[in-house]
Amino acid sequence: MELKHVIPNMDKTFGTLEYAGEGKVEQRRINGRPTILSRSYNLYSAIQRADDIVVVLPAEAGEKHFETEDKVRLINPKITAEGYKIGTRGFTNYVMTADDMVKA
């Protein structure tokens, strides 16, 4: 059985989420034109305080404009794991995606 993604219990795992700023924009040339594939945003979590939470939204969600520390809510969040290695050591990068992000 393959693990495709985990649907987090947002209240228990992250608590209140606040907007912390824009992240990266992933784009690729399609038919010679740059096309946006996804955008990432940084969020503050009331429970996960060590690092910012990064969420990746599809291009269809559009560009988001929030004030810093606005409370936000994620629509259909999912967490996936990506494995990679450096030398002989293995590492895991957890990626949170969502269909959209709205003001809470």
Pick from 72, 74, 97: nearest CA to 18: 72
- Tell me the pTM: 0.88
Amino acid 51: pLDDT: 84
Where the chain has pLDDT below 50, the residues are none
- Burial of residue 13 (CB within 10 Å: 0-12, 13-18, 19+) is middle
Amino acid 2: pLDDT: 75
Integer Cα distance of 87 and 84 in angstroms = 10
Amino acid 50: pLDDT: 82
Amino acid 3: pLDDT: 77
End-to-end CA distance of the chain: give it in Å, rounded.
36
